[in-house]
């Protein structure tokens, strides 16, 4: 863990503390970035690695969060997540020079990632055209406690945007006339869903071990949807194995859907997703997968709805394919956007129902230790501590109650490829203490989690530095529902608080 902490705190020192002003809105410059490179593994084996980053630009550096996944080769299920830091120098004629670094944890796909710590550096030249940047350079990818060390060409595409950003939690009592500020802006509907996705592969579909899969394979995950125009939506989802003997299987998808409301409470949709998936003996080849689907959404009560989706998923260069049934419990809200282009409804007509959502992001490092029984599948690793990167995203529904979603990946402890997704309620007892009861799925890295289901209660202690920042110390316990993992958990991180207006 000591080796990773310097990268962690360098990253968060450069998160923006002040924001540019545009028409009196607090504005932050952000970007979505996709990268692609072909890395060389031992034995001259090649693996195509795709990266996705969400970045924020400051006056000096660009910082953000990233995830990398295998998309070609034979290592489907290889994923890493962590923190990104970049410096961009503007050159004449809209050219630029960029140097960037990434530090995170992960692995999988039976790759030689060792403990899972991934370090990546890249530098090169690029060209900006309007809101688009194109980058070509050299990158170095290494796993210091594994056997991966590769240098190669790297290509990246970046889409630039601006968005409102409100640091802190004090806007409910602000004297600012939000009615006037928001009157010219538009609204987009956004949705957050908890989803249960079942795969039903045909008996002829075999795993990497040459045996047929169970008739039903289940994953549990989170889905995000964002309205682009009246019919088109952007989709992003991630999930991990929960049932069916595929411990270690994980997936990340993005794409688009079309949605049409046909009555006051009923909507129909269809869409297409492309992404990466693998692990857990599921033969996805290099990892690239696609899913097509159609579904029906029924409004339940106020912001809540249920969504049933039928589809078909297939690996682009692997043997796996299956029919899918996907159930979502959906929470919807109307998000105020800077652009007045999309929604027909004006913000002014709804300003009386304006609310402020308290949010926080809590990145850090976590340790599994003091095991109550051997928790490894291999005898020579029974009692090794495991260090993990962790990212927590919290949404408050009152001043005390919140829901937390958390993602973790191992980077030390000979558990490379071990990943966790957690979701659950939290309650803030006072300004210093909060408690959480988390449920989720995990797998990979040789840790015995049975079918993958976990429970993890936590207590958090905050040391507040300002209305925006605090340091967090946490302790808890993690237990696999039907596996041998049973250990104490300790966490060190920071918390960044911000707010967002919605209807």
Q: Tell me the per-residue pLDDT of 74-86, one tens digit each, with 9 for 90 and over.
A: 999 999 999 999 9
At residue 41, the pLDDT reads: 95
User: Taking the CB of residue 162, how many other CB atoms lie within 10 A of it?
Assistant: 16
Residue written as tokens 């009196």? 24
pLDDT above 50: residue 345: no
Q: Containing H/E element for 150?
A: strand 149-164
At 366, is the pLDDT very low, low, confident or very high (cuts 50, 70, 90)? Answer: very high
User: Can you tell me the mean pLDDT for 172-193?
Assistant: 74
Task: Lowest mean pLDDT of 39-43, 172-176, 325-329, name the range.
Answer: 172-176
pLDDT above 60: residue 4: no
Distance CA 364, CA 47 (A): 29
User: Can you tell me the mean pLDDT for 327-346?
Assistant: 70
User: Can you tell me the mean pLDDT for 13-30?
Assistant: 58
User: Can you tell me the mean pLDDT for 363-380?
Assistant: 86
User: Can you tell me the mean pLDDT for 82-103?
Assistant: 95
Do 202 and 322 meet the contact criterion of CB atoms below 8 Å apart?
yes
| Proportion of the chain above pLDDT 90, given as a percent | 67
Task: Tell me the range of 18-27, 208-217, 359-368, 379-388 where mean pLDDT is highest.
Answer: 359-368
At residue 183, the pLDDT reads: 65
At residue 309, the pLDDT reads: 97
How far from each other are the two terminal CA atoms of the chain, in whole angstroms? Answer: 42
User: Taking the CB of residue 264, how many other CB atoms lie within 10 A of it?
Assistant: 6
Is the Cα dihedral 478, 482, 485, 486 positive or negative? Answer: positive
pLDDT above 60: residue 14: no
* Torsions phi, psi for 174 (to 5 deg): -70, 140
User: Taking the CB of residue 70, how many other CB atoms lie within 10 A of it?
Assistant: 28
User: Can you tell me the mean pLDDT for 260-269?
Assistant: 94
In DSSP terms, which residues pair with 83 in a beta bridge? 65, 103
Distance CA 349, CA 107 (A): 49
User: Can you tell me the mean pLDDT for 277-290?
Assistant: 93
**Mean pLDDT rounded to a whole number for the chain:** 88
Model confidence over 442-480: pLDDT tens digits?
998 889 998 889 999 999 999 999 989 999 999 999 999
Model confidence over 146-174: pLDDT tens digits?
999 999 999 999 999 888 888 888 877 66
pLDDT above 50: residue 343: no
pLDDT above 70: residue 72: yes
Do 165 and 26 meet the contact criterion of CB atoms below 8 Å apart?
yes
Distance CA 130, CA 67 (A): 26
User: Can you tell me the mean pLDDT for 296-303?
Assistant: 93
At 354, is the pLDDT very low, low, confident or very high (cuts 50, 70, 90)? Answer: confident
At 20, is the pLDDT very low, low, confident or very high (cuts 50, 70, 90)? Answer: very low
Residue of 392, 361, 360 lying closest to 476 (CA atoms): 392
pLDDT above 70: residue 111: yes
What domains does the chain contain, in order, with CATH numbers? 5-164 (2.40.160.20), 186-337 (2.40.160.20), 356-502 (2.40.160.20)
At residue 90, the pLDDT reads: 93
Distance CA 36, CA 50 (A): 5
At 176, is the pLDDT very low, low, confident or very high (cuts 50, 70, 90)? Answer: low
| Proportion of the chain above pLDDT 70, given as a percent | 88
User: Can you tell me the mean pLDDT for 370-377?
Assistant: 85
At residue 180, the pLDDT reads: 65
Percent helix, strand and coil across the chain, each rounded to 5? Answer: 5, 65, 30
Distance CA 5, CA 389 (A): 10
At residue 175, the pLDDT reads: 64
Say whether 391 sits in a helix, a strand or coil. Answer: strand
């Amino acid at each position: 863990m000591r080796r990773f902490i310097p990268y962690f705190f360098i990253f968060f020192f450069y998160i923006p503390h002040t924001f540019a002003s545009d028409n009196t809105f607090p504005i932050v410059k952000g970007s979505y970035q996709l990268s692609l490179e072909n890395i060389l593994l031992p034995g001259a084996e090649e693996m195509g690695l795709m990266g996705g980053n969400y970045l924020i630009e400051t006056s000096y550096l660009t910082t953000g969060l990233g995830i990398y996944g295998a998309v070609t080769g034979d290592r489907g299920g290889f994923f890493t997540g962590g923190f990104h830091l970049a410096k961009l120098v503007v050159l004449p004629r809209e050219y630029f020079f960029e140097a960037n670094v990434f530090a995170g944890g992960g692995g999988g796909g039976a790759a030689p990632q060792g403990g899972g710590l991934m370090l990546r550096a890249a530098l090169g030249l690029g060209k900006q055209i309007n809101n688009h940047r194109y980058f070509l350079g050299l990158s170095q990818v290494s796993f210091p406690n594994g056997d991966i060390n590769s240098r190669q060409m790297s290509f990246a595409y970046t889409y630039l945007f601006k968005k409102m950003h409100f640091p802190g939690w004090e806007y409910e009592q602000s004297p600012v006339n939000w009615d006037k500020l928001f009157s010219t802006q538009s609204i987009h509907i956004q949705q957050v869903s908890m989803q249960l996705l079942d795969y039903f592969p045909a008996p002829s579909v075999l795993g990497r071990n040459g045996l047929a899969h169970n008739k039903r394979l289940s994953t549990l995950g989170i889905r995000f949807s964002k309205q682009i125009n009246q019919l088109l939506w952007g989709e992003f989802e991630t999930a991990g194995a929960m049932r069916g003997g595929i411990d270690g299987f994980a997936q990340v998808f993005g794409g688009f859907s079309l949605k049409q409301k046909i009555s006051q409470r009923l909507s129909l949709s269809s869409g297409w997703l492309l992404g990466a998936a693998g692990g857990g003996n599921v033969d996805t080849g290099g990892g690239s997968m696609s899913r097509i689907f159609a579904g029906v959404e029924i409004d339940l009560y106020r912001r809540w709805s249920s969504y049933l989706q039928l589809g078909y998923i297939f690996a682009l260069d692997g043997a796996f394919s299956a029919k899918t049934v996907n159930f979502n419990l959906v929470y919807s809200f109307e998000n105020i956007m800077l652009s007045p282009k999309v929604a027909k409804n004006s913000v002014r007509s709804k300003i009386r129902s304006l609310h402020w959502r308290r949010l926080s992001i809590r990145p850090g490092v976590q340790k599994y230790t003091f095991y109550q029984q051997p928790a490894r599948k291999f005898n020579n690793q029974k009692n090794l501590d495991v260090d993990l990167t962790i990212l927590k995203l919290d949404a408050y529904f009152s001043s005390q109650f919140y829901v937390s979603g958390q993602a973790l990946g191992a980077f030390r402890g000979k558990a490379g490829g071990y990943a966790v997704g957690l979701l659950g309620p939290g309650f803030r007892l006072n300004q210093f203490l909060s408690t959480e009861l988390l449920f989720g799925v995990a797998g990979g890295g040789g840790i015995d989690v049975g079918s993958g289901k976990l429970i993890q209660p936590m207590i958090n202690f905050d040391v507040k530095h300002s209305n925006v920042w605090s340091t967090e110390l946490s302790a808890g316990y993690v237990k696999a529902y039907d596996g041998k993992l049973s250990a104490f958990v300790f966490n060190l991180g920071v918390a960044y608080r911000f707010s967002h207006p919605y209807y």
